[in-house]
Amino acid sequence: MKKVLSIVLAVAMLFTMSVMAFAEIKNPKTINGTAGEDNTAIVKTSTVDKDGKDATWYKVTFPAETVIAWGDTAPNAVEYKVESQLAYDKVLNVTVTTEDSTMSASEAANTATLAYVLGGNVDVKTATAVANESYAASVTVAEAQWAAAPVGEYSDTLTFTATVVNAD
């Protein structure tokens, strides 16, 4: 049984090696020994992957929620990571925005607000190819804003926007 199996596997390996011999050569050239003939071939890449899809891509990863300790006046980082592989003349532009830089109290009956400043890396243009680079926007609440607000849970929404743009 082992001999039969080894013979079958050997024959299968021979068939797989011969597949390339039957492949069609596209735009063939032949060298005939004529003076001045072109004996070069071009090797080039495609801009689509092996499945025929566009090979450019990007990914921006950011936290779904960032919690700031009550009374903290230091800039609080909202870190995000960028990965991309784009065309040579393109870069990824990542912006972080807020509607009005004001957090609202989470209780429906409470209309208290807490103003803050959005800063840090809020408008970043990356390189063409980026391997997991870290950036951080920051949320800073001034001491006067903390002092004027009743203690509670306040929140606001930051919007991350990623756009592929021409490199400058």
* For residues 19-28, average pLDDT: 67
* For residues 9-25, average pLDDT: 63
Give the tens place of pLDDT for each residue, 96-140. 999 999 999 977 677 899 999 999 999 999 988 999 999 999 999
The pLDDT of residue 100:
93
The pLDDT of residue 8:
63
- Rounded to 5 degrees, φ, ψ at 65 are -155, 140
Q: Which residues contact 118 (CB under 8 A, 6 or more apart)?
A: 96, 97, 98, 101, 137, 138, 139, 158
For a pLDDT cut of 70, what percent of the chain falls above it?
Answer: 89
Written as six digits, the tokens of 56 are 């450019």
Q: Residue 23: pLDDT above 90? A: no
Q: Which residues contact 67 (CB under 8 A, 6 or more apart)?
A: none
Distance (Å, rounded) from C-alpha 153 to C-alpha 164? 36
Confidence tier at 1 by pLDDT (50, 70, 90): confident
Candidates 144, 136, 155; CA nearest to 77 is: 136
Please, what is the average pLDDT of the chain? 88
- Report pTM: 0.74
Q: Which residues contact 79 (CB under 8 A, 6 or more apart)?
A: 62, 63, 134, 135, 136
The pLDDT of residue 14:
62
